[in-house]
A and B are shown apart, each in its own frame.
Chain A
Amino acid sequence: MGLCAKDLLDMGQLSPEEIELILQTGKEMKTIIKRDIKKVPTLRGKTMVTLFYEPSTRTRTSFELAGKYMSADVVNISTSASSVVKGESIKDTGMTLQMMGMDLVVIRHNMAGAPHLLAKNLKARVINGGDGFHEHPTQALLDMMTIKDKLGGFAGLKVAIIGDILHSRVARSNLSGLIKMGAQVWICGPPTLIPPGLEKLGAKVTYSMEEALRGAQVVMMLRIQLERQKAGMFPTLREYSRIFGLNSQNLKLADKDCLVMHPGPINRGLELSGEVADCSQSLINEQVTNGVSVRMALLYLMLGQKGE
């Protein structure tokens, strides 16, 4: 069994069974990363490219290593050093890569829907590595793998996602995936950073950290971009941190063993106190490892099975 669609563009397209399959496969892949010789021949002869229109450390590296651990040939393109600066359209860039024989393109773009545009025009498979404020499905999958690993499942869990929801693709993907798997998702942040319609998506919305944290089994903190303050979304970073920052004090409101997660990179002392970031409940480093595993799983399911 593989995945239904040619591409992975958002969490909405995945069935619960497909999500389970990805997470299960990710778990198996994790054993490869822990080996001394981290290489299997599964994707030998397959070619993939990471096409990043935005800076990224962990997502790009994670995809690159996932491909390499499985013997795929991986090419990285950052648009600042490509024909994109010469004004090439995304469709033409994609076509060029396809004609060179690429089997799969991972795209990161600052505009929502860019992966859809690419997917519509290419025969090669496309994975959305984060598009604007839309979705970041592989981040949600690695977060879900982390949760499942620790808590065994999702049904009935209270998960609080806290911070700048309006501009967060991580929040949208997690919301979609977690609700589909039966979790109860609470969204919390200042009203200026909460978009309309979240209740219709099945979330519970609150402006109170206390309400969001109380009894939560998982807390996901989101990175607050410094430019949001300049755009007038909240008065000062100091006030934001005081009201919506997670620290060892308010973390006590949550379940005793509540998992603390963050997609990174973190603003230490802003949305997350250093103490909490480094505490035993924090899974921030675990998330990074699972990021490679889950991406290996996806590459395997999307590229590895056909014709074998």
Chain B
Amino acid sequence: MEYILKGGVVIDPKAGLEKELDVHVKDGRIAALGENLVAKGIETFDLQGKLVAPGFIDMHVHLREPGGEAHETIATGCRAAAAGGFATVAAMPNTNPCVDNEGVVELIKSKAQKAGLSRVLPIGTISKGQLGQEMAEIGMLYEAGVVAISDDGKPVVSSEVMRRALEYSKMYACPVISHCEDPSLVAGGVMNEGYWSTVLGLKGIPGEAEEIMVIRDILLARLTGGRLHLAHISTKGSVELLRFARTQGIAVTAEATPHHILLTDEEVKGYDTSTKVNPPLRAAEDVEAVREAVMEGLIPCIVTDHAPWSQEEKEQEYAKAPNGISGLETAVPVCWNTLVVKGGMSRLDFVARFTTGPAKALGVPYGSLEVGGTADITVIDPNMKKRVSTDTFYSKGKNSPLNGRVFQGWPVMTVVDGKIVMQDGKIREV
């Protein structure tokens, strides 16, 4: 397959490139970048006014398969990813059975290949059965193809187990992704602790439940020299602790979600369970601090924490409903609108949070438009304004608190390995 993407502004943070250029794709690779590439007999796409970026990477999604097929499958999750502009997603291992052995890794890889859309990078568990007690077979998982290990969904409560995991995984290029939460302090909480939890009579979760684990893991990273990545940072305190790590020279990467840089805990008013997420939507000052940390690059990755749920699961009492937001199909416009249109972030920095940031955190060879490299491309129409409609989601999970809101800056093309998997918001089936 061969074609030319013509007239768009190429934005490649790795090369520091921001220029109107044509992109020649051939046999799954970037064949050439240049002005006015001659396109004799080759299919051309006119991308005037669009931004042509390296394929976006979402390093934190829940595809639910195996075990949770009522909520999402790898096939439907990959459609949602492609529709949302993501060429690559990293799938969290809290499935049933969980990804603590090679067999499940193989299953995920083969299902993803069959789906043939966005690339799926499996993540393995830190501990056997995600119980937080004994290390999983990290070496064998790595050899089977996991790009990171994480007990996401649950914290590793034991500092000793976390220490050993950070140490042991050093022999692989395999970061440990920490879900920071002190369960004894969460103590059954279902939303952020503060004014709104008081008004709504819902049990609150203080920001410190996250921050205590953030600082613990930063200190364990210092102790071990392991590769630590902090999942879904949601509080001002955590941002301050990240800054502390940076000034101390402790190597830590971190991520934030679109919902944590946009929505406050006031959204819970009315008990709409689509606002129930872990970590919870926080107070305005937290949202602002996390947003600024993303803009500044202290938090180098944006992830969706895509957590689809069937309608029955979410149509319950607030305290009973499961945590999670279906985020793959809204992340790019939400962030473009919030960070670039309203926040004044540069286009290069914006693209970096979805490409070089996660590629570096995971140590994977994607996220650039180098000539000769894999042709993963995300095209954005920075001017397109559209209303979010969960009815049109490719994901099985319609659980989004953003339904009905208008955002500017939507993905209009997703290319994976040279294959156009999404065009104008529609999945192109193989």
Contact = CB atoms under 8 A, between A and B. Distances in A.
A117 B271 contact: yes
Interface stretch (A59-67, A193-201, A262-270, A272-280): A193-201
Interface residues of A, number: 23
Contact of A200 (B195, B200, B204, B320): B195
Interface stretch (B14-22, B138-146, B311-319, B413-421): B311-319
Contacts, number: 64
B202 interface: yes
Contacts of A169: 201
B201 A132 contact: yes
A131 interface: yes
A116 B318 CA distance: 10
B195 A111 contact: no
B315 A196 contact: no
Interface string B181-217: 0000000000001111111111110000000000000
A198 B198 contact: yes
B103 interface: no
Contacts of A117: 271, 315-318
Given A112-B271, A196-B194, A200-B195, A89 B202 contact: no
A111 B198 contact: no
Interface in B246-284: 270-271
A135 B269 CA distance: 13
Contacts of B193: 196
A226 B238 CA distance: 36
A197 B271 contact: no
Chain B: number of interface residues, binned into ranges: 20 to 34
Nearest to A109: B317
B198 A195 contact: yes
A90 B317 CA distance: 8
Interface in A95-147: 109, 111-114, 116-117, 131-135
Contacts of A133: 201-203
A5 B361 CA distance: 52
Interface in A242-263: none
Contacts of B204: 195-196
A172 interface: yes
A111 B320 contact: yes
A31 to B, nearest CB: 35
16 contacts: A89-B316, A90-B317, A91-B315, A109-B317, A111-B317, A112-B200, A113-B200, A113-B202, A113-B318, A116-B270, A131-B201, A133-B202, A172-B199, A196-B195, A201-B198, A201-B199
Interface of A: 89-91, 109, 111-114, 116-117, 131-135, 169, 172, 195-198, 200-201
**10 tightest A-B CB contacts, nearest first:** A134-B201, A113-B271, A197-B195, A133-B201, A111-B317, A195-B198, A112-B201, A113-B318, A197-B198, A111-B319
